[in-house]
Structure 1
């Protein structure tokens, strides 16, 4: 079980024709990270997938 302090990054997306999705990245106890995917049910976030990652890299593109 993870806690909010274990969370490295939360990304929430709103697809045009589907429920909101939350992608939560948090540290694994051995090394690396978990990427846990949740779907909004209208009342709570339901976990739908989890994947082990060795590294996270964040890039942002900006239109000027």
Structure 2
């Protein structure tokens, strides 16, 4: 199953995903097609293809 441009999920093959991808798979119409093991209690950092650097904490502009 091709979820997007960097997630190719093969049937019956375990695949590590970040919490955002896990949410896309378990909290949408796709949930009935995927089995999720584990939880979000441990953070493993950035996953390959899920961003280059963590989001910056400083804001360069204001909305107000």
TM-score higher than 0.5: no
Q: Which has more helix, going by share of residues?
A: 2
Question: Under a length normalisation based on structure 2, what TM-score does the superposition of the two structures give?
Answer: 0.24
Larger Rg: 2
Question: Under a length normalisation based on structure 1, what TM-score does the superposition of the two structures give?
Answer: 0.24
